[in-house]
């Protein structure tokens, strides 16, 4: 039985190869949007679990439990002496999110 990643890939490929090439206009546009969404879901399935662990580890290193606590600590100045670490952590979090949302944004 195929797993979720294989099912998403199969639907994406069907839309990409059969539906998009056989349609035009509005239906083709919506098919293109659906293909892009399915690509994001594929990346989320493949990258997401590791990203969650890495993000949690980064928050622990900064001494906060979640993003809300990190934001509060930054606002309150509790991490002012560790801003290089904060920037590195936030930058990595954004990079990881872009790897799922649209890796092309990371290209030079």
- Kindly tell me if the per-residue pLDDT of 17 is higher than 80: yes
* Digit-coded pLDDT (tens) for 94-106: 999 999 999 999 9
* Contact indicator for 77, 100 with CB cutoff of 8 Å: no
What does the H/E/C string look like for the chain? CCCHHHHHHHHHHHHHHHHHHHCCHHHHHHHHHHHHHHHHHHHHHHHHHHHHHHHHHHHHHHCCCCHHHHHHHHHCCCCHHHHHHHHHHHHHHHHHHHHHHCHHHHCC
CA distance 54 to 96: 9
Write down the mean pLDDT value for the chain: 96
* Digit-coded pLDDT (tens) for 58-81: 999 999 999 999 999 999 999 999
- Kindly tell me if the per-residue pLDDT of 108 is higher than 90: no
If pLDDT is split at 50, 70 and 90, which confidence band does 28 have?
very high
- Rounded to the nearest 5°, which phi and psi values hold at 61? -60, -30
């Amino acid at each position: 039985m195929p797993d979720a990643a294989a099912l998403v890939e199969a639907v994406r490929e069907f839309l990409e190869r059969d539906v998009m090439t056989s349609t035009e206009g509005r239906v083709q546009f919506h098919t293109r949007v659906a293909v892009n969404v399915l690509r994001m879901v594929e990346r989320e399935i493949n990258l997401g679990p590791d990203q969650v662990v890495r993000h949690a580890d980064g928050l622990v290193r900064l001494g906060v439990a979640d993003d809300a606590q990190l934001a509060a600590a930054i606002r309150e100045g509790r991490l002012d002496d560790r801003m290089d670490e904060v920037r590195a952590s936030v930058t990595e979090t954004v990079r990881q999110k872009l790897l799922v949302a649209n890796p092309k944004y990371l290209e030079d």
